[in-house]
Amino acid sequence: MRPKIHIATEGLEKSLFTHLNFVLEDKGTLSESELWEASLAFFSPNLEKMTNNLIKNYKLSFGRKIGEKTAKTNILNNLRLIVSKIKKSLLHTHKPVIVGGKRFGRIFYSKGHEGQIQAKVKELVKKGGGHQWEVLKNIKNGPVRISPSNKRAVELLEYYGLLEVQKIGSLCAVTPGFKISNSKKSEVHESFPTHFKIWKPFAIETWVLRDGPEKIKLKFELAAWDPLNKLFYLSLNKPYIGLTNLKNLREKQIILGLPTKLKVFCNDMSESAKKYAEKWGIEISTIQL
């Protein structure tokens, strides 16, 4: 069994703590991953020397040789322990920033730079992409309904004040301070002919393949049957419809697997939703209030 490697770190913690404070004062904020990069950059000029010294000292102490890769790995592991201790003494947020599968970690900052945290998170979200960036982009066009797929993204963005959650029919993510400017926008309409058979709401069970055959229930706000043309409609009926609303509706249509036509009733719709509806042949019925 290889003897345990002990690395002398006296003085390193204090010097690194001082360095990181200077970096934070200069840059304002750093993500957890950037804090590690700044720490590594601080030690890089001496990393080769430290590696060589460890190899020599290990051979003198134990009469055995360790490779350069092993020595360097042990030094880096010890540096990570030092950085972990220092983190506890630095000002930081508590919710890790994880976007697009990339973990940026918490945000570290120096006193007086609290106002830069939000901009930093927005920068990381744009860099990482994923659901977080999609939600942040789409709320510019109007409310985005909170679904199981984007719930965690919304929670992160809400924590850092990049959006608000409001109940607009259902829970939606909106830009901070969002208000429906005209109260009449809450009025919606539907114009299926009177001879149609209408369900409001409409729910149906179907089978899907996941880990095996599984029965699920699909729910729609509105459905209608045209007995003359033998057409079955699946619909949304909302004051405002965004891109996420249409994507969710079409996803459920695909899962249902029946020949159906999509139609939406609304007072207003985002530009991205209009393009999506045109692309997939979704019928739109709007009223200007």
14 or 208, which is more confident? 14
* pLDDT bracket for residue 68 (50, 70, 90): low
Residue 44 has pLDDT above 80, yes or no: no
The domain total for the chain is 3
With respect to residue 1, please indicate whether it lies within any of the assigned structural domains. Answer: no
More confident residue, 48 or 121: 121
Reference 173, options 143, 148, 152; nearest CA is: 143
185 or 37, which is more confident? 37
Q: By the 8 A CB rule, do 232 and 199 touch?
A: no
Burial of residue 87 (number of CB atoms within 10 Å: 0-12, 13-18, 19+):
middle
Q: Same structural domain for residues 165 and 235?
A: no
Q: CA angle at residue 160 from 154 to 161, to 5 degrees?
A: 85
Residue 3 domain flag: no
105 assigned to some structural domain: no
- Distance, CA of 284 to CA of 179 (rounded, Å): 24
For residue 94, being part of any structural domain is answered with yes
The residue-averaged pLDDT of 267-286 equals 88
Are residues 149 and 173 both part of a single domain? yes
275 has pLDDT over 50: yes
Residue 4 lies in a domain: no
Based on the fold, state whether residues 191 and 251 are members of the same structural domain: yes
pLDDT at residue 41 greater than cutoff 70:
yes
Average pLDDT (68-92) is 81
Do residues 201 and 277 share a domain?
Answer: yes
> What band does 63 get if pLDDT is binned at 50, 70 and 90?
low
Show the domain range for 279. 185-286
Question: Looking up tokens 């200007």, which residue turns up?
Answer: 288
Q: Tokens at residue 70, please? A: 């092993």
pLDDT band per the 50, 70, 90 thresholds, residue 10: low
For the cut 60, the answer to whether the pLDDT of residue 259 exceeds it is yes
Q: What is the pLDDT of residue 262?
A: 92
Contact 130, 118 (CB under 8 A): no
The rounded mean pLDDT for the chain is: 81
Residue 112 in any domain: the answer is no
For residue 56, the model assigns a pLDDT of 63
pLDDT at 212 over 70: yes
SS3 of 57-99: the string is HHHHHHCCCCCHHHHHHHHHHHHHHHHHHHHCCCEECCCCEEE
